[in-house]
Amino acid sequence: MSDVDSSSGSSGSFPKYLEHLSGDGKAIGVLTSGGDAQGMNAAVRAVVRMGIYVGAKVYFIYEGYQGMVDGGSNIVEANWESVSSILQVGGTIIGSARCQAFRSREGRLKAACNLVRLGITNLCVIGGDGSLTGANLFRKEWNGLLEELAKNGEIDKDAVEKHSYLNVVGMVGSIDNDFCGTDMTIGTDSALHRIIEVVDAIMTTAQSHQRTFVLEVMGRHCGYLALVSALACGADWVFLPESPPEEGWEENMCLKLSENRAQKKRLNIIIVAEGAIDTQNKPISSEKIKELVVKQLGFDTRVTILGHVQRGGTPSAFDRILASRMGVEAVVALMEATPQTPACVVSLRGNHAVRLPLMECVQMTQDVQKAMDERRFKDAVKLRGRSFEGNLKTYKRLAVKLPNDKIPKSNCNVAVINVGAPAAGMNAAVRSAVRVGIADGHRMYAVYDGFDGFAKGQVKEISWGDVGGWTGQGGSILGTKRTLPGKHLERIAEQMRSHSINALLIIGGFEAYLGLLELAAAREKHEEFCVPMVMVPATVSNNVPGSDFSIGADTALNTITDTCDRIKQSASGTKRRVFIIETMGGYCGYLANMGALAAGADAAYIFEEPFDIRDLQSNVEHLTEKMKTTIQRGLVLRNESCSVNYTTDFIYQLYSEEGKGVFDCRKNVLGHMQQGGAPSPFDRNFGTKISARAMEWITDKLKGSQGTGKKFVSDDSICVLGIIKRDLLFQPVAALKKETDFEHRIPKEQWWLKLRPLMKILAKYKASYDVSDAGKLEPLGHHQATSHGEPAAI
């Protein structure tokens, strides 16, 4: 497998690779502090392995700051195998504790002494804003602390010179996602998995008895978990600390619940953040809400408090990949740091890893609390960042329907269609499009069974209530087919005409993209196609040009990761066993590569990176070496179409023959289970938001064209909507043509290939990792989108 990444990150200069960084003689201390979060172990593993890879020594600091103050056996050098098999474990294996001692100068003096004696001058802190603030104070005092230690004779003068400054890099591990400047903190996605599992389970019992459920989720000062889970399950009402309900909310809520019951909805779900307050800053408890519903409406109501379940369990694929990326980025930042470098936080913006000034982020996080205390709730929502604000806006639009006479009619008909293979999250996207469309005054039509059904006239008007409860359903309720429109253009045009369709929203995979191209080409012949058309990518393969992510890929990735975890467990029991696992994705290696990163695999074979018999041989040798260590198992992922001749069977037989006497082999083809299952919180949320945005675009295009008989013929009226790096972009399909490899149905350039060396490094291979994108500390307010995009929050 060739490890050269030719794409240069910085403008015009040569790419800067990891080889330029040397950790010789440097020592890194890694600690987890504050409340635990799933994914912390993945971050610890990445820091340890990346640190060792660049030649530094890495030390575990057990029990957070308490261990740093106590020293002794709490600070232990880590090796490669110390972090084996922890990727799939929730919580933190190095422990975390609240520490009073570190708050005092004496405590910090002891901590500095313990670190200096081991030569540790680089700290990687994984925790919340409190932990990071503590680290920054420690960094500022460092020199003074050392001088005091030298004066007291606890260390010699040379040590003060030699270790004169402390570098600090933070990673935010917090399930609340309450840290400003980062779109997602480590643990948030996993906490959402726990909440959604519970909501899905509660919905079935609530439906049986026509009950109302009040669910209390974590978030003392931040309503992110409550908001996103409400968005992801279509809750009837949500209570957040940042955005208290308006005066008279009691009547409004009861009115809405009784309206829903009148429309034959058998259950109500109300989600409450534990820190929910009213406009007077008085707490709103789940019990209070229950009493209100029972008293006013007489509904059978139950309260469920989720509590620490949300912190537990295995980390999701998203959190493992996020934490691994952040951990590697943190080591790079520490290796590049100088005495002048301020403490930074590595974080995610859109789909882009960035470094941000630590104290500015902490300051902004504290400003939110201040705004809430001073009842400036609009400011609080704004300060929480674009992701939060966008979620809140979308939730409000989708939860409450205005009475029909209050919605100004657009006299436009908009059709929604699913095309390609089913992907989890498609239904959430359809629900969101239908409701936003109705709120914008359009009549919404559902097309059943793809272009095939379109040609046969399977087109029906769809109402607000028809899509209730769709977010949690897997597959495609509208039905979806791989048929392209080319064969049926006449009949599809006829259906567009007879239903007077003014715009089309296509939700689907590569077929949807090809279909859009065919419809664009047919505009000259059929004027019915001269309407705004937009595609939202939805496919497990994540192979649609024009977007870094597609709906359904996250759910598939979690399925692969869960299965790999189970297989690894089986392999650990039998010892000396290697599993070859085949994943889906057509020619696109996204699932195999990211699955390997999330499951901690030893290798991943993909079409995008050609490999030959020598590569297979070196992988076998690598595994043979590995069997001599304490980690006696192997995991190899193979994309289904990565090679015509090196099939899964061939690789299995080769490994079996070459590994004789050292390890034995098993193979596993995951197959269609990757397309099924309930959508993950990420796919529900992503599908809901991106589809709502696509519908707003359609509304903007249609505004002012009604009655004028305007024909849409320009390229920018037929687009793909996607996330690229950190922007949400509408790109004309015509422009995407040159970026597409049509033979293999993949984009010519794929962002995730840059993460490939990362997977190899963490599996103990030498690899060239391009770090030219890193390096710069970004200002916090740096959220301007590129000239033609808008900021994308994941």
Q: Do 515 and 455 contact (CB within 8 A), yes or no?
A: no
Compute the 3-state secondary structure of the chain and give helix, strand, coil in percent, each to the nearest 5.
45, 15, 40
Catalytic residues: 176
Main-chain phi, psi angles of 589, to 5 degrees? -90, 10
282 burial via Cβ count (<10 Å: 0-12, 13-18, 19+): exposed
59-62 contacts, C-beta under 8 A, 24 or more apart: 59/27, 59/28, 59/29, 59/30, 59/118, 59/120, 60/30, 60/31, 60/94, 61/29, 61/30, 61/31, 61/94, 62/94, 62/95
Phi, psi of 165 (to 5 degrees): -140, 155
Phi, psi (rounded to 5 degrees) for 90: -75, 180
Other residues' Cβ atoms within 10 Å of the Cβ of residue 738: 8
What tokens appear for 534 in the block? 């937009």
Give dist(CA 62, CA 75) in Å, integer: 6
CA dist 428 and 473 (Å) reads 8
- Cβ neighbors of 537 (< 8 A, separation 6 or more) are 508, 509, 512, 513, 544, 546, 547, 549, 550, 551, 720, 721, 722
Give me the half-sphere count of Cα atoms (radius 13 Å) on the Cβ side of residue 282: 4
Report how far residue 307's alpha carbon sits from residue 218's, in angstroms, rounded to the nearest whole number: 7
Given a contact cutoff of 8 angstroms between Cβ atoms, the answer to whether 76 and 62 are in contact is yes
Q: How far apart are CA 165 and CA 145, in angstroms?
A: 11
Distance CA 144, CA 138 (A): 10
Place of tokens 């998995």: 193
| Cα 722 from Cα 516, distance rounded (Å) | 15
Round to the nearest angstrom and report the end-to-end CA distance of the chain: 32
